[in-house]
Structure 1
């Protein structure tokens, strides 16, 4: 059985951090969360980069996130590193209760219960994750390609359970949208999500958040529940 590739990318390790929450950071994060919650569904194209110096690994993949905030439903599609949107490598789909991890190359889909714990992290949590289990501090502004981004560092309140020690968010000062999320690994690795687009209330089919086995003939179903 193949490992869940997405978890290899996004589950990391922890240490101590800030002692309190920052009022300025909270104001900015609330603005991001409130804007996100205005929409029934959002869609975002993103780039994911893993930089692991000790392993001499630096890899970039493109992906698409579709999420429905009120129901905890989401669909994450990752494309092959050198490919286009036609070259799907992996999909992670959740209807809020069940999660499917589809590994296209291996012709396998792994079925598990949806993980709502604060110990995990995925791109679908970017917009609201600070609301529970994090301390945060505003560290200033940065100008990139003519735009001003506000930088906020998040650190887990429960260091023993979290698998990462810091997440650095860059937020567009004007649009109040997250631009990047940089995740710091205790071992010196860095994982970066860059959101390249933000589409509010896109039209998506009803079956977007369910994996259709009939549409994937020959795929082995591995039930991990």
Structure 2
């Protein structure tokens, strides 16, 4: 999984009642989520990621933690990998192999970094309100995003948004038929995350592969 796709948290993950009862439009929801995002300087997110593969029908589930600041600064920590970027340099560390790959930050066209998810994706996708669901005891709108570009890496996406305009879940299906779901378990905003969080110091004995 590439560094940009990992964000995928995560993505992501940072921000977006009853639709019929309140007669709200998909654009209203997007606008409210983006307004919420403008008030956020940083966020810390505990999440669960599950991946379902269409062909093998296998499923993988893991949990992790995301630290995020605007301008593409984020850190994702899971049991199997740590991905860090300060917006200029990216580090992808595999603790099992004791190896870190260092590269210039590249925002791929199919990445789901928070900035891209909230600001660019609504413009690049057709957005519809498909219903409402209760998620972890919270009423959520469910938005469906369909890419306008037929050659997009993703074929579809769903986003669950609560009454506080915070994104609670993101579900993405790609061209290979794999569906990745990120569910937010806890999120805190504006705690003053230190800049050093977005720089990776490799443990002693780590094999460094520098692609810059």
TM-score past 0.5 threshold: yes
Are the counterparts in 2 of residues 41 and 200 from structure 1 also a CA contact under 8 Å?
yes
TM-score by length of 1: 0.78
1:99 aligns with 2:90: yes
1:185, distance to aligned residue in structure 2 (A): 2.9
Aligned to 1:220: 207
1:72 aligns with 2:72: yes
- Cα deviation, 1:7-58, whole Å, max 9, x if unaligned, reads 5896xxxxxxxxxxxx921210221122122121111111000111422421
Are the counterparts in 2 of residues 118 and 133 from structure 1 also a CA contact under 8 Å?
no
Alignment partners' CA distance in 2, 1:94 and 1:187: 27
1:137, distance to aligned residue in structure 2 (A): 1.1
CA RMSD of aligned residues (A): 2.4
Are the counterparts in 1 of residues 3 and 90 from structure 2 also a CA contact under 8 Å?
no
- Cα deviation, 1:40-77, whole Å, max 9, x if unaligned, reads 111111100011142242110001111112x2111111
Aligned to 2:131: 140
Q: 1:9 to 1:42 in 2, by over 3 A?
A: closer
1:31-180 aligned within 5 A? 31-69=32-70, 71-79=71-79, 89-122=80-113, 125-160=116-151, 162-172=152-162, 174-180=163-169
Are the counterparts in 1 of residues 72 and 113 from structure 2 also a CA contact under 8 Å?
no
Are the counterparts in 1 of residues 67 and 75 from structure 2 also a CA contact under 8 Å?
yes
User: Helix, strand or coil: the match of 2:26?
Assistant: helix
Aligned to 1:184: 173
Instruction: Give 5+ residue unaligned stretches, structure 2.
Output: 9-23
User: Helix, strand or coil: the match of 2:165?
Assistant: coil
Alignment partners' CA distance in 1, 2:86 and 2:208: 17
Alignment partners' CA distance in 2, 1:101 and 1:203: 24
Alignment partners' CA distance in 1, 2:155 and 2:89: 28
Q: Greater relative contact order: 1 or 2 (C-alpha under 8 angstroms, separation 6 or more)?
A: 2
User: Helix, strand or coil: the match of 2:25?
Assistant: helix
